[in-house]
A and B are shown apart, each in its own frame.
Chain A
Amino acid sequence: MSTTSLLVIAILILATLGYFLASKRAISTAGGDRRKLHSLPVYYGSNAAMFTAIPALGVLLIWLLAQPMLVERNVLSTIPDKLIPEGSSIGLVMSDVRRVADGLEVVISLGTMSQSETLRLDTEQTDIRALLAGVGAAIGSDVQPEVLEAAQNYRAQTKTGQLWMVLIIAPLALIGFALSVLAAKATFRARNTVERGILALLVLAASLAILTTIGIVFSMLFESINFFKLHPWTDFFFGGSWAPNFRGDSDLSILPLLWGTIYISIIALIVAVPVGLFAAIYLSEYAGPRVRAFAKPLLEILAGIPTIVYGLFALLTVGPALVRVFGRGEEGLLGLEWMSGATAVLTAGLVMGIMLIPFVSSLSDDIMNAVPQSLRDGSLGLGATPSETIRQVVLPAALPGIVGAVLLAASRAIGETMIVVLGAGAIAKFSANPLEAMTTITTRIVSQLTGDTDFASPETLVAFALGLTLFVLTLGLNVIALYIVRKYREQYD
C-alpha cells in the first residue's frame, strides 16, 4: 500500500477517534448534564473530526498536485540537450524517464529486486528495457544511461518529497486533533465553529464553477502560447489554407475551418429558426392545452437525443438520401451529378437544424408566453386578427428574447461536434457549394488530438488554439444572448 493511502487512512482513524473523544469530554466537563452544554454533543465531535481531517487532507491534496510538477521541473533541468533525439522533444524524454521510474517501483513492489539493487542498476550490465517489459511497463527504445540517471534522480526526489509530506501532514493532523479535543468544554461554541466550517465547504463547492472556467481558460491558454511560439500567429489568424503535415512546415490557418463552421451553422439556423419560431407561435398563441401537452414534450425529445445519434443519422440516412437526389448522374432522382459523397455541408447543416428546432421553439415559446395578455387583448379589441396581433404586437414585443434564443442556438451549432465529425467531412476549403464536404473547428480539434500525437508539435498544439477560439466565440454569443434575454425580461416584470 502506498504512503499516501496509509496517511489518508491514519488521518481518518484519528478523526473518528477525535469525534468520540471530544463529545465524551464535552459531556464530562458539563458534569454529565447535557443541558449545560452550549451545543449538542454531535457538534463537539464534528468539530474535532473537522479540525483533524480537513486541514491535513487539504494540504495533502495540494501537495499531491504540486509535488510532481516541482520534481519534474528539477529533473528536467538535469537532462542534457544531446539526449533529445532528432524530431523528438523534451516532453517525450521526460515521459520515458517517468515510465522508467514508475517501472522500477513496480519491480520493487513485485519483489523482483530490492530497493538497493535498483539503485545500483547500470545500463551496461542490465537490459533495463527487458526488465521493465517483464513487469508490464513498455519503453519505446533502449534506456540510455542519462535517462536512467534522470529516473533515479526522479525517484530520489519523489521519495524525499513523500518523506517531507508525511513529516508535515502527520503533525498537522495531530495538532488539530489535540487542540480540538482540548477545546471541547461545555462553554465552547462548537455549533458555531462547525457551521462556519460547513459554510466554508459550501463556498468551496460554489467556487468550483469559477475554478472550472479558470481551468478551461488556462489549460488552453498555456498550450496556445506554446503553439504561437512554434507557429506564426499571422498564419493562424490570417493565412488562407489548412494543411497539417506531421513532418512539419504545415499551413495551419483557422479561416477555412471558421468558414466551414459558419456555413454549416447558417444552414442549420435556416432550418431551425423558421420551423422553431412557427412551432413556438402555434404552441403559444393557437394551440389548446391538449395539443400543447402533447406536441411540446414530443418536440423537446429532439433536444434530448444524444448528438451521436444525429451524427449517425446524418452519415447513414440523410447523406445517402441527399446523394440519391443530387448525385449519381442518371441513376439519381434528378439526374444530376452534383454530390459525390454522403458527407457534405448540407447533410450536417440539415441534421443540426433538426436538432436545434426545440432550442428555438422552447425558448421562444417561453418568451412569447411572457408577453402580457393585455397587449394581445388591446390589439384584438381594435379588430386585428390573431395573426395580425402576433405579427404586429406579440413578435415585436418578444423580439429581443427571440434574438437571444437564436443566438443561443447559433452558439450550440458552432460548438456541436459529433454531427459534423460524422456528417461534414474532412476537407478544409473555401467553397460556397453546400453539396461539398467541408470541415469545422470542432472536427479538426478531434482529429488533431486523437491518434498518435506528440504534444510538442504545432500540429497538435493548434487544437488548443482552435479550442480557445471556439470557447471565446461561443462565450461571446452566450453572454450577448443572456444579456438580451435578461434585459428584456425586466421590461414586463
Chain B
Amino acid sequence: MTDAIQKLEKKKSLLQLDARTRTRNAAETRFKAYGIIAIAFGLLMLAILVFNIVTRGAGAYQQTFIALEVELLAGKLDKKGNRNLDDIKKVSTFGYTPLLSNALEAKVAELGIETDLKAKKMVGILSKSAAAKVRDYVLNNPNKIGETVGFEFLASSRVDGYLKGRVSRDSIGNDKNISPAQLDLVDALKAEDSLAKHFNMSFITGSDASDARPEAAGMGTSMIGSFFMMLVVLVLALPIGVAASIYLEEFAPKNWITDIIEVNISNLAAVPSIVFGILGLAVFINYMHLPNSAPLVGGLVLTLMTLPTIIISTRASLKAVPPSIRDAALGVGASKMQSVFHHVLPLAAPGILTGTIIGLAQALGETAPLLLIGMVGFIASNPPDSIATGLLSPNSAMPAQIYEWAKRADPAFYERAWGGIIILLVFLVTMNTIAVILRRRFERRW
C-alpha cells in the first residue's frame, strides 16, 4: 500500500501517464485492434469470395458466336428428293458436318483470309453442337432444303476461352481440340468482325451438355429440377412444420414426451445434411422404391432437413403473440382450438412466412444429400412436360449441377460452375430480401 502511495506521489501531474498506465492503455488499444482485424478479416474474405464469383462467373454469360451462311444441300440431306421427314431423319449429325465446313471455307475465302488449314480442320473452331443445330432446323423446316440459310453458331469452348483470355497459345501445347493454326484463323476472323462475343441466353435457359461441348451447357433444366424440389418442400414442410409448432407451443403438456420431442428437433437441426441423404437413400429409394434422381425424392429429403428450421422459427413467432389475444378469444367463448386457428395463427403468419422462406433458401443451396440420391452424374437434357414427370423423371438441381461441372476438370466448365453460382446466389439473395421485407413490413411489436 505504502509503495503505491509513494509511486503516486512521485508523479508530478495527473495528466502525465505513468509507465504502468501506458502499458495498460497500449494493451487496450491492441485488444481493440484485434477485434477490428478479426471483423476486417471476415469482411475481406466475404469480399474476396464475392469478387471471385462475379469475375470468374461473368464469362459464362458471354459466349463467342460465329455467323455463317449454310447451304442446305439437297444432295446431302435428302438424297431421294421426296422431302420425306423419315428419310431426312436418317441423316445423322455427321452428315451435316460437310455443310458446315463448306460454309466456313466459303466464308474464309470471301474474307480473303489465307490459311493452310483444310476445311475439315477449320470446323474445329465451331462447337460440336453446331451440326445438331442445323439438323434440328432442317427437321423443323424441311422445305428449306436446297436454300442457303444464315445461322449463328457457338464457337468451340477453346476458341471462346482464347477470346476471353482463358486459353493462350502456350497453354494449348498438348490440346488435341485446338491447334495454333486454328487460333490464327480465329484471329483473322476476329479482325474481320466475323466472330462476336455477346450475351448468351442459353446459359440461363438451356440444359447441361456432354463433356465435349461445355459451350452449350446451361442451367435451365436444373433450375426446373430445383423448382420442383422446392415445391415439394413448401407443400410438405410448411403445413407439417406449422402443425408441429402449434402443438408444441399451444397444446403440449409439460412432460417427458414433449421434452424428448423438443430435444429431438433441436438435435435434428444440427445433424449433418449428408446423414439426411443416407436416410433418403435407405428409406425412399431402397425401401420404398421411389425413382432414383427424382426431384420428388430430393424434395422429401430436403423437407425432413428443413422441418426443424421451420418449426423453430414458427414457434418463436407463435410465442411472440401476446397471451391477451388468446385470453380475449377464450373470453368471448371461443374454444382453445378456435382461439389458436382464428386469432393466434393469422397474427403469427408473417413470422411463419419469413421462417419458411429462410428454410427454403437453405434447402435450395443444399448439395450433399442430393449426391446420394443420384441427382448428379447424368445429363438432364429435356425439360419436363408435366408436373408428374417434373416430379418423377430424373433431373438435376442447381447446386448439384454446379458440383457436376466442378468435377469435370475443364476450365470451360469451371467458368460455367461460377456462372451457375451467380444464378443460385441471385435466387438466395432474392428470397432473403423478401424475408427481410416481410419482417420489416408486417412484424408487429406488442
Contacts and interface: CB of A to CB of B under 8 A. Distances in A.
B311 interface: yes
B32 A387 contact: yes
A315 B408 CA distance: 12
B204 interface: no
B412 to A, nearest CB: 13
Given A202-B244, A208-B240, A213-B264, A304 B282 contact: no
A388 B35 CA distance: 14
A134 interface: no
Contact of B406 (A281, A358, A386, A422): A422
Given A209-B308, A475-B267, A302 B275 contact: no
A205 interface: yes
A213 B279 CA distance: 10
Nearest to A219: B282
Interface string B393-433: 00000010011001000000010011001001100100010
Contact of A415 (B273, B337, B417): B273
A449 B281 contact: yes
A449 B241 CA distance: 30
A191 interface: yes
B346 interface: no
B266 interface: yes
B49 A442 contact: no
A333 B404 CA distance: 32
A195 interface: yes
B52 A286 contact: no
Contact of B243 (A205, A222, A388): A205
Closest 8 CB pairs of A and B: A415-B272, A282-B35, A306-B365, A219-B282, A278-B38, A205-B243, A387-B31, A202-B247
A415 B260 CA distance: 23
B85 interface: no
Interface string A199-225: 101111111111011011001101100
Given A219-B279, A275-B38, A385-B24, 18 more contacts: A209-B261, A219-B283, A278-B34, A278-B35, A278-B37, A278-B38, A279-B38, A308-B399, A309-B421, A312-B414, A387-B31, A390-B31, A415-B272, A415-B275, A418-B403, A442-B272, A446-B274, A449-B372
Given A209-B268, A210-B264, A281 B35 contact: yes
Q: Contact size class for A? A: 35 or more
Contacts of A313: 49, 52
Interface of A: 65, 68-69, 98, 191, 195, 198-199, 201-210, 212-213, 215-216, 219-220, 222-223, 274-279, 281-283, 286, 295, 298-299, 301-302, 304-309, 311-313, 315-317, 354, 357-358, 361, 385-388, 390-391, 408, 411-412, 414-418, 421-422, 442, 445-446, 449-451, 455, 463-464, 467, 470-471, 474-475, 478-479, 482
A474 B424 CA distance: 28
Contacts of B372: 445-446, 449-450
B218 interface: no
A387 to B, nearest CB: 4
A308 B307 contact: no
Interface in B233-253: 239-241, 243-244, 246-248, 251-252
B36 interface: yes
B189 interface: no
A343 to B, nearest CB: 12
B271 A471 contact: yes
Contact of A205 (B240, B274, B335): B240
B272 A416 contact: yes
Contact of B428 (A191, A304, A386, A455): A304
A69 to B, nearest CB: 8
A213 B367 contact: no
Contact of B42 (A305, A306, A361): A361
B148 interface: no
Interface centre among B252, B279, B311, by most A CB within 10 Å?
A: B279
A346 to B, nearest CB: 15
29 contacts: A69-B287, A98-B289, A198-B337, A205-B239, A205-B241, A207-B261, A209-B265, A212-B307, A216-B278, A222-B282, A275-B38, A275-B41, A286-B35, A304-B428, A305-B49, A306-B366, A316-B406, A316-B414, A387-B27, A388-B27, A417-B367, A442-B274, A446-B371, A449-B281, A450-B371, A451-B377, A474-B270, A475-B267, A478-B266
A202 B246 contact: yes
A415 B274 CA distance: 7
A225 to B, nearest CB: 13
A235 B53 CA distance: 44
A195 B272 CA distance: 37
B307 A208 contact: yes
Nearest to A350: B45
Contact of A216 (B248, B271, B406): B271
A305 B39 CA distance: 18
Interface string B352-385: 0000000001101111100110101100000000
A365 to B, nearest CB: 11
Given A385-B24, A387-B28, A446-B371, A202 B251 contact: yes
B421 A467 contact: no
A162 B283 CA distance: 22
Contacts of A65: 288
A302 B28 contact: no
A349 B433 CA distance: 31
A299 B361 contact: no
B92 interface: no
Contacts of A279: 35, 38-39, 42
B115 interface: no
A479 B269 CA distance: 12
A451 B377 CA distance: 8
A478 B267 CA distance: 7
Given A207-B261, A209-B308, A306-B366, A357 B42 contact: yes
A411 B52 CA distance: 28
Contact of A304 (B38, B266, B361): B361
B312 to A, nearest CB: 11
A206 B261 contact: yes
Interface centre among A213, A299, A312, A442, by most B CB within 10 Å?
A: A312
Contacts of A204: 243
Nearest to A316: B414
B267 A455 contact: no
B43 interface: yes
Contacts of B275: 216, 220, 415, 467, 470-471, 474
Nearest to A390: B31
A203 B247 contact: yes
Nearest to B264: A209
Contacts of A418: 367-368, 403
Interface in B39-80: 39, 41-43, 45-46, 48-49, 52-53, 56
B286 interface: yes
A474 B271 contact: yes
B39 A215 contact: no
A299 B337 contact: no
Nearest to B25: A385
A199 B251 contact: yes
A206 B244 contact: yes
Contact of A191 (B28, B264, B335): B335
Given A208-B240, A212-B304, A299 B406 contact: no
A470 B39 contact: no
A348 to B, nearest CB: 14
